Structure 1
């Protein structure tokens, strides 16, 4: 079975920007007469739905974008989920009030109420889509006060109910003040641009162009208007045009289809050649121009198949992608255009040609960048995990989907509309899933609203959507398979994918998520599942890429995730962060970034694993791996060549004591790349390091961790001992061998820390004076690097005397959090 799609789509532009005059694509507003009003807002962190007084002095001055969760999500799982107030003063003279005025909020997390001069105008539900407020009849000459209540408090009627990501609060995207004549293209239909333009029967020979516009007549008279549209190629030649005369009744809005001429031999859009046409659409009354919008047009077609993969413009095409959350370290989701641009640049560098915007509608500028720089897109609504049994929840899902489609319809990069991710399913009693009707309703809605694109739904690593019929609803289905992280081994991916393909033979499938957590500070020569080491990340990814490359029937893959992202409930090696990214939360490239780049990018790559691991010990014989896509790589140790390779790029070498310089040089037909760094080697490097408050009697503190029960560390009165585990580790407790000659009761407090700055209490109690070796188990396994032992000495003479202190560490997590359980198919 083949799913064929003929599609021509457009990006909205405010003005034409010549590429040679800009360093990067600048964000474009939807309308010429639109201005950002991000400066000089007031913010009040008060959880009340009563509008604060005009003279309330508690407000603080801020600029947008803004979130109140940029810091607390990094410190606690119980981050602020409540309401706050924003205020903005706008001033208008008499002439300005003669035109219609709108405020367009590009997002407010997670719901918002807008007031103008104390008058309630809108209550918007949904934290990721834009919404437009018509101010026209509510403004006055001079000063006008805009009050906006925003809340990210839990709401049983609003998706997402839960998820493995943070629900940030605030006006975290731009706000636009828009003007329009009384007769104009619509400014506020589901927050969209007021028109759609698309193609049918697209091929390399022709494209039929269709234009649909929504017109508003808010004047006091009926009028006749003319819509004129032209499409030009990059040389300025008109390749299609259309005209429509139409009658507009006073006080009414109307939808109109403008007939467009056939486009011959179109330049086809693709990630490799993202060709865009210029489009101008104008509205006239007689010969007087009333309104205008400018757009960009991309022409292409594509198809998903069940047995041959994905096709773009009639040719087989490998969809090599990632998933992207929109937040950034210490900024939350209040991002600048530069941050979005940097993410796209990194994705293009690594070789990504398609992107899943998970798990919600993202900034319009991201879509503009994908259109102009060339990345195919899958965008979705935030239907994740829970499905409350109330009609308001389902109604809000439908509104979110309509807003998503209306606002982003004109982006040629988008190829799929996503309806949800890993929703929890059970049998409703007739063999269908408990949320079967919701998914079916969303699927029907999308096809009514957009006949040019296809639908997709996503599940975790279980067969419930197949058993309960959900897999057969959308046009394409995605499975999130974390083989080798949450369940099974990473070499079982092929077997699982083939099994799913056999169970749903008529459904095009996508590997929508796969990945593992990693920490650039954690390294090992014995990588194991869930150890968060860079080396396990590399082994896992290399195996998955080899397996995926052999499955030609698979329509596409999306690595999870492009970047580490905020998940306040998590307690991994970096607490409050999901660490499965190719880059860190602040966009520092991990080894896996270069490994993937060597497989997916045509840009020459040479990268030695791993420049983060500069202190090494143990056996001096080491296997050194190089990630490269070049024909030949030569490795050097301290300036001496270890030979050239042209296949596996793995060398076995012997490190010298002390400083070692590793350098790799790649060569392909005279094109060279190189990478080098310094490794310090010491055969017997201490497993732990120790510091203590005092060292009485000439005994060094290191005797407490030297593995010798005949040596000791001793101090008088109170003591503080800090053990550095050298890396963030899974710690279940501590064993302490006390000096038998001083074997009395000790009052101990044990604390743990990741960064040696913020400490958490792990245990408080007394030692057993009858046992020379005491085992202190924590109530809960901890992921920490530092252990602090505080003692006031024994109960006889206040002496602290320790023969050995042994942290109880492990590679196995004792307790899985909610999302690890889901990932393993346990719910």
Structure 2
């Protein structure tokens, strides 16, 4: 018989006593996102309690150095300081006091009352600091020194995203007894579920308890598994003596749960593990962990299976940043992102290319979407020079190797520790495209990946280890077979050598279609469109589009605007295409130009919006005609707070314009609004000559806003950040960039013309009478030169063309009437030409000499 479980009934459930005698209430958790003082830069003595921060900016968390941020490729790199006062009483000093950070990019030094209490390096994983010895009754000054400096021993050393600094995720104060459950110290598994075909399973719980007291004693851990209705379906307990200053990992297995509700994307059934730690009948600590019953199987020949059923990934890659706020988004904004991808019919998200927040995993759990969680071992094209975010993925200096490998393994372990209980997480990915590294470091890359895979198997034997972005190299240094699963990006989907590779695999990126909203009503399959490759192969588990949302990129907005939803979280027409095909929801009628008459203002949430930095509301402004029909007209629009609390990333108001970084397009504009005070807020949308629109919003769970008494927000005028150092340096692209061809002879695939090896080459099939080869630099460049080398001398007839969109092409070299044999070309245009793609179009007919293209290089300057 199931019992309805409450905190007070858990001990009764197991031991049959009439009541719980609890001298304490266990742990206490306090959100610390409100009322911080912030200053950009580095300041001597800012950790000291008496330091004068009265001239600093009053801010709330989550926060980024870059706010307000709107997709510029440049961002501030340096230091920032945060300060806050905590109130503690005498009874608090008898407890263990912890600061929990969900994410700080990328190095944090934490001070309490002028004393350094802890450090953390790594921008995408949380950490916990025990500051008990430094606490005092009364005011306690918390100061955090943060930097986002590039460092040779910290991952990632390179990536195409932006790397803004800041305390960009939540912070909490947690008070516990001296004997307590450790931070993310509990693992929940269902070891017999698969062998029983999902019909029943025990639950295994491994929970680390720490005894920070001076007394050795007996401690009882009581656990219960609770279903979605609040009923306990199984429970057990274990008593253990723990030494003073020691710790113990309880290993408990419950009785079997019959016919558990299985977690899957169509039916994301969740259970809760309730854990309570007792000394006798005294409750010391408690926690609740959400988990699910599901199992995976992944085979090289048949693909992926979930709960025994064949499953095809309809996936999407997702970065975490959003318009205005950059990486510093709320939990609610994170949940909207996941929900928006689910609404379009996607069933898998790849967390590109770093560990996302625990709130993101939780949203995947609850929405029902599988989550590919990725460590930040990341590489990108560009100059492999230390000191910047295009550096070699793996260190070029021997002195940095040990530190870097230790850092990567530590961040991998932190990712697994934090996310391991989430049922949505189905694989741990080691990396993304680490082959973008100095050539001589490839042995080191392979060695580190093997260490990561072994570490993953040790930490979590229930999930596989993937090599993400494994489509290069093509020769002896190939990395795709190092792990249990391979993820092939871009042209990796169609490289002949990787067809049925003998290892479970997915296309982890396809598409890469740059578009401003609204864009075209199309899927953007890219090379997957050939021979209907998007339908998958029996051995391939599916594919994930690049990408879900526009995002900031160090290579400019062209690379950042590849989402099916724009940076402001408004869908492009490609999102509607997927929703139509995947979720069977027909697209709306597209707006057209007309006579604008008024504005409509809508919010994702109007009432009970949390004012603690975990919640916000997404506002959308739409241009309408007199009849209320949506128009594509895009006039200048202003959003401003008329009364009450709240802030946009720019302060109390924000301006949208069609030719601005803060854009209105296709008749719509949007932005998120948050508050750190409770109260009613009136927001107005206005545009010259149009009827205005207003909304009343209600914020809760914070002190009431009182005009003239509460801290007023500061307006933050948006100016696109420019690096002081001129960025206009020539850079070379080609090696390991995506390549596409009309056809390929077996063993002479397209990627061999961009692998850095002059002895290898691409060659089309003999029957291909309209052969072409294309290189995607994945950057918008001001072209300086195109160089190509052929294998041997030959009299080829061809043209060299460039394009910014892979649609409209411009000839820069015409060799169609070549009368001599050549082995190389070097094209240097007389004027600046913008491009992203270069294509070699061969004009020879069937039976003529087949071209042998050995290597192509493109030299240019990255531009917006």
For normalisation by structure 2, the TM-score amounts to 0.63
In the alignment, which residue of structure 1 is the partner of 2:617? Answer: none
- 1:404 Cα deviation from its structure 2 partner: 0.7
The verdict on how the C-alpha distance between 1:401 and 1:139 changes in structure 2, with shifts beyond 3 A counting, is: same
- Give the Cα separation in 2 of the matches to 1:140 and 1:279: 35
> 1:295-334 to 2 correspondence within 5 Å?
295-334=289-328
| 112-121 vs 63-72, which moves further | 63-72
- 1:545 Cα deviation from its structure 2 partner: 10
Q: Deviations over 1:478-506 (max 9, x none)?
A: 111158xxxxxxxxx6xx2554124x2x2
- 1:47 Cα deviation from its structure 2 partner: 3.0
- 1:539 Cα deviation from its structure 2 partner: 7.4
Q: Deviations over 1:509-532 (max 9, x none)?
A: 11001123333368xxxxxxxxxx
- 1:287 Cα deviation from its structure 2 partner: 1.9
- Give the Cα separation in 2 of the matches to 1:72 and 1:14: 44
> 1:662-741 to 2 correspondence within 5 Å?
none
Instruction: Pick the aligned partner of 1:423 from 434, 442, 452.
Output: 434
1:446 aligns with 2:433: no
The verdict on how the C-alpha distance between 1:15 and 1:535 changes in structure 2, with shifts beyond 3 A counting, is: farther
In the alignment, which residue of structure 2 is the partner of 1:198? Answer: 189
Q: Deviations over 1:732-789 (max 9, x none)?
A: xxxxxxxxxxxxxxxxxxxxxxx99999x9xxxxxxxxxxxxxxxx9979999xxxxx
In the alignment, which residue of structure 2 is the partner of 1:570? Answer: 556
1:403 aligns with 2:414: yes
The verdict on how the C-alpha distance between 1:234 and 1:339 changes in structure 2, with shifts beyond 3 A counting, is: closer
The verdict on how the C-alpha distance between 1:41 and 1:343 changes in structure 2, with shifts beyond 3 A counting, is: same
- Give the Cα separation in 2 of the matches to 1:813 and 1:248: 63
- 1:442 Cα deviation from its structure 2 partner: 0.5
In the alignment, which residue of structure 1 is the partner of 2:772? Answer: none
In the alignment, which residue of structure 1 is the partner of 2:447? Answer: 437
1:579 aligns with 2:590: no
Instruction: Pick the aligned partner of 1:177 from 173, 176, 196.
Output: 173
- 1:339 Cα deviation from its structure 2 partner: 1.1
- Give the Cα separation in 2 of the matches to 1:334 and 1:446: 29
Instruction: Kindly indicate whether the alpha-carbon contact (under 8 Å) linking 2:298 and 2:504 is maintained by their aligned counterparts in 1.
Output: yes
In the alignment, which residue of structure 1 is the partner of 2:357? Answer: 363
> 1:340-739 to 2 correspondence within 5 Å?
340-385=334-379, 386-388=393-395, 389=398, 390-424=401-435, 433-459=443-469, 461-464=471-474, 467-482=476-491, 496=494, 499-502=497-500, 504=501, 506-520=502-516, 534=520, 538=524, 540=526, 543=529, 546-570=532-556, 572=558, 578-601=560-583, 603-607=584-588, 611=591
Instruction: Kindly indicate whether the alpha-carbon contact (under 8 Å) linking 1:310 and 1:318 is maintained by their aligned counterparts in 2.
Output: yes
1:69 aligns with 2:66: yes
1:141 aligns with 2:152: no
- 1:370 Cα deviation from its structure 2 partner: 0.9
Instruction: Kindly indicate whether the alpha-carbon contact (under 8 Å) linking 2:521 and 2:577 is maintained by their aligned counterparts in 1.
Output: no
- Give the Cα separation in 2 of the matches to 1:44 and 1:101: 26
In the alignment, which residue of structure 1 is the partner of 2:384? Answer: none
Structure 2: which 5+ runs fail to align?
A: 1-5, 10-25, 380-392, 596-624, 634-658, 666-717, 727-781, 785-801, 806-830, 840-856, 860-864
The verdict on how the C-alpha distance between 1:360 and 1:82 changes in structure 2, with shifts beyond 3 A counting, is: same
- Give the Cα separation in 2 of the matches to 1:543 and 1:499: 19
- Give the Cα separation in 2 of the matches to 1:38 and 1:756: 26
- Give the Cα separation in 1 of the matches to 2:117 and 2:530: 52
- Give the Cα separation in 1 of the matches to 2:539 and 2:837: 38
The verdict on how the C-alpha distance between 1:74 and 1:583 changes in structure 2, with shifts beyond 3 A counting, is: closer
- Give the Cα separation in 2 of the matches to 1:513 and 1:779: 26
- Give the Cα separation in 1 of the matches to 2:538 and 2:94: 61
Q: Deviations over 1:555-595 (max 9, x none)?
A: 121111100100143153xxxx6111011111111111111
Provide the aligned C-alpha RMSD in A: 3.9
Instruction: Kindly indicate whether the alpha-carbon contact (under 8 Å) linking 1:111 and 1:125 is maintained by their aligned counterparts in 2.
Output: yes
Instruction: Kindly indicate whether the alpha-carbon contact (under 8 Å) linking 2:513 and 2:524 is maintained by their aligned counterparts in 1.
Output: no
- Give the Cα separation in 1 of the matches to 2:574 and 2:293: 34
- Give the Cα separation in 1 of the matches to 2:513 and 2:372: 23
The verdict on how the C-alpha distance between 1:392 and 1:292 changes in structure 2, with shifts beyond 3 A counting, is: same
In the alignment, which residue of structure 1 is the partner of 2:35? Answer: 40
- Give the Cα separation in 1 of the matches to 2:244 and 2:84: 33
Structure 1: which 5+ runs fail to align?
A: 1-12, 17-30, 484-492, 523-532, 616-660, 662-675, 681-721, 729-754, 762-777, 785-807, 823-827
- 1:334 Cα deviation from its structure 2 partner: 0.7
- Give the Cα separation in 2 of the matches to 1:756 and 1:244: 59
Q: Secondary structure at the match of 2:448?
A: helix
The verdict on how the C-alpha distance between 1:433 and 1:501 changes in structure 2, with shifts beyond 3 A counting, is: farther
Q: Secondary structure at the match of 1:435?
A: helix
The verdict on how the C-alpha distance between 1:46 and 1:538 changes in structure 2, with shifts beyond 3 A counting, is: closer
In the alignment, which residue of structure 2 is the partner of 1:51? Answer: 46
Q: Secondary structure at the match of 2:377?
A: coil
- 1:469 Cα deviation from its structure 2 partner: 4.7
- Give the Cα separation in 2 of the matches to 1:65 and 1:86: 12
The verdict on how the C-alpha distance between 1:274 and 1:156 changes in structure 2, with shifts beyond 3 A counting, is: same
Instruction: Kindly indicate whether the alpha-carbon contact (under 8 Å) linking 1:341 and 1:369 is maintained by their aligned counterparts in 2.
Output: yes
In the alignment, which residue of structure 1 is the partner of 2:21? Answer: none
- Give the Cα separation in 2 of the matches to 1:198 and 1:679: 52
> 1:780-791 to 2 correspondence within 5 Å?
none
- Give the Cα separation in 1 of the matches to 2:440 and 2:149: 33
- 1:208 Cα deviation from its structure 2 partner: 2.6
- 1:274 Cα deviation from its structure 2 partner: 0.7
Instruction: Kindly indicate whether the alpha-carbon contact (under 8 Å) linking 2:577 and 2:587 is maintained by their aligned counterparts in 1.
Output: no
Instruction: Kindly indicate whether the alpha-carbon contact (under 8 Å) linking 1:521 and 1:612 is maintained by their aligned counterparts in 2.
Output: no
Q: Secondary structure at the match of 1:340?
A: helix
- Give the Cα separation in 2 of the matches to 1:756 and 1:813: 27
- Give the Cα separation in 2 of the matches to 1:249 and 1:439: 38
- Give the Cα separation in 2 of the matches to 1:273 and 1:349: 14
- Give the Cα separation in 1 of the matches to 2:80 and 2:405: 26
Q: Secondary structure at the match of 1:604?
A: coil
Instruction: Kindly indicate whether the alpha-carbon contact (under 8 Å) linking 1:227 and 1:245 is maintained by their aligned counterparts in 2.
Output: yes
Q: Secondary structure at the match of 1:176?
A: strand
- 1:158 Cα deviation from its structure 2 partner: 0.8
Q: Deviations over 1:3-32 (max 9, x none)?
A: xxxxxxxxxx9999xxxxxxxxxxxxxx95
Instruction: Pick the aligned partner of 1:115 from 96, 104, 111.
Output: 111
Larger-Rg structure: 1
- Give the Cα separation in 2 of the matches to 1:55 and 1:757: 30
- Give the Cα separation in 2 of the matches to 1:176 and 1:62: 16
In the alignment, which residue of structure 2 is the partner of 1:647? Answer: none
The verdict on how the C-alpha distance between 1:382 and 1:40 changes in structure 2, with shifts beyond 3 A counting, is: same
The verdict on how the C-alpha distance between 1:50 and 1:420 changes in structure 2, with shifts beyond 3 A counting, is: farther
Number of residues of Structure 1 aligned to a counterpart in Structure 2: 589
- 1:429 Cα deviation from its structure 2 partner: 8.2
The verdict on how the C-alpha distance between 1:50 and 1:469 changes in structure 2, with shifts beyond 3 A counting, is: farther
In the alignment, which residue of structure 1 is the partner of 2:260? Answer: 266
- 1:271 Cα deviation from its structure 2 partner: 0.7
